[in-house]
Amino acid sequence: MPAAEDHSAATVAPATGVSSPSAPGDVGLVVPRDFVSAEPFTFDSGQTLPGFTLRYETYGRLNAAGDNAVLICHALSGDHHCAGRHAATDRKPGWWNNLVGPGKAVDTDKYFVLCANVPGGCQGSSGPASVNPATGRPFGMTFPFVTIRDMVRAQKIWLDALGVKKLHAAIGGSMGGMQALQLGIEWPGFCRRLIVLAATARESAQAIAFNEVGRQAVMQDPEWRGGDYPPGGGPRVGLAIARMMAHITYLSDAAMDRKFGRKTTSPKANGGALTEEHSQLSMEGGAVTGLAPAAIEMKFEVESYLRHQGESFINRFDANSYLYITRAIDHFDLMAASGSLEAAFAPMASETLVVGFTSDWLFPPAQNRAIALALLRAGKRASYAELAMDLGHDSFLLESQELYGLVRGFLG
């Protein structure tokens, strides 16, 4: 087992001498830690690692009974940094800072809150970018195939090592919701409550198709090189395109139209009119010639927004991790082994809250509702809430007093 380091205290930096940018209710400056297991880990695929690392953060304190812990499970592009800031100069806090903190819906004055980067990730946990000790080079595509079940099995080893005897709750949106459900099935007595947001028991063909387009954008980039690219290199163009396409599925038409409409970044392009420079095109041999770059670069604001999303993503995410994690999401299927959702939920002992969002067309309300109904048919304690928000799949990440109230009430 890993070294017995004391992880039960919060990873919040001491207040003394720290100039924190945090508003009241924020956890302040936080320090990520690494959990290193030296025990062999066998994946669902049968492949084995001699050990693994999970990078994580905690907020609050574990009580003497070891049962006030709340596990935050992150989505595809998330990581362990869900609240606070790493430095006073950080432009943004953790990705769920609006939900986690003193007095917030997930109250760190009450709960010991934990979040870890999943295996297969690229923010410090073992993944394709990690060095293979057998070769001294990054694993690349030789890293074991990862499933959602592998993710929660690794997290259970980590939680046991931290002294967590029982989870008060596990909370996750999208892929995080998949992890929460899998956790409840694998260890029925370990988690009192589950909160599953904007998730699904198995993806639709359309969702798988979107993921495949993103993977092909990565793999068709010449710089991918079969997954064997140097640190800092790789298929940056392909990964940016994959992120741009995926990000569209996280939004809604109403939200995009409200934010961007047909506004442009150049006055010349307003109304769709082309300048004289743009129109000086001719046809030679069936091909357009004389196409001025300005004609192609006429930008709508939504285009600039998507390009920004792509550019920022490639600076923090590994392309091979993108391939691995999207495949893990695609292969998640609670009905496959047992034949029905009711049978899959038979071991479940956790009380579960499932929340769908009306404008989510990636994992639409019907798929979330199906989870709650199957739990009820299986005789489990479950409830379903559907929030009328027009922000799309990402609604669970954004400001919502109604969502905060649901989470706070269910945890309490």
Over the stretch 79-112, which tens digit does the pLDDT of each residue have? 999 999 999 999 999 999 999 999 999 999 999 9
Over the stretch 133-184, which tens digit does the pLDDT of each residue have? 999 999 999 999 999 999 999 999 999 999 999 999 999 999 999 999 999 9
Phi, psi of 328 (to 5 degrees): -60, -40
Res. 296 pLDDT band, cuts 50 70 90: low
Could you confirm whether 308 is annotated as catalytic? no
271: in domain: yes
> In total, how many domains does the chain have?
1
Q: When comparing pLDDT for 196 and 231, which is higher?
A: 196
What pLDDT shows up at residue 407? Answer: 98
Whether residue 218 contacts residue 322, with contact meaning beta carbons closer than 8 Å, is answered with yes
What pLDDT shows up at residue 299? Answer: 83
* CA gap 45, 341 in Å, rounded: 23
Output the CA–CA distances (angstroms, integers) from residue 113 to 11, 135, 259, in the order listed.
10, 37, 34
Could you confirm whether 393 is annotated as catalytic? yes
Catalytic residue chosen out of the listed positions 74, 79, 393, 395? 393
199: in domain: no
310: in domain: no
What pLDDT shows up at residue 337? Answer: 83
Whether residue 37 contacts residue 51, with contact meaning beta carbons closer than 8 Å, is answered with yes
**Which residues span the domain enclosing 286?**
264-299
Given a cut of 70, whether residue 288 has pLDDT beyond it is no
Mean pLDDT within 115-127: 98
Res. 316 pLDDT band, cuts 50 70 90: very high
Res. 411 pLDDT band, cuts 50 70 90: very high
276: in domain: yes
* CA gap 9, 166 in Å, rounded: 17
Over the stretch 328-363, which tens digit does the pLDDT of each residue have? 999 999 999 899 999 999 999 999 999 999 999 999
What pLDDT shows up at residue 4? Answer: 35
* CA gap 362, 370 in Å, rounded: 15
What pLDDT shows up at residue 102? Answer: 97
Average the pLDDT over each of 34-48, 288-302, 350-364 and give the range with the smallest value: 288-302
What SS3 class is residue 282? strand
3-state SS record for 76-95: CCCCCCCCCECCCCCCCCCC
Catalytic residue chosen out of the listed positions 360, 394, 395, 400? 360
288: in domain: yes
Catalytic residue chosen out of the listed positions 37, 130, 174, 350? 174
Q: Which two tokens stand for residue 105?
A: 């819906």
Could you confirm whether 174 is annotated as catalytic? yes
166: in domain: no
Q: When comparing pLDDT for 374 and 6, which is higher?
A: 374
Alpha-helical regions (H) of 135-252: 148-161, 175-186, 205-219, 236-250
Given a cut of 50, whether residue 11 has pLDDT beyond it is no
295: in domain: yes
279: in domain: yes
What pLDDT shows up at residue 298? Answer: 56
What SS3 class is residue 175? helix
Q: Return mean pLDDT, the chain.
A: 89
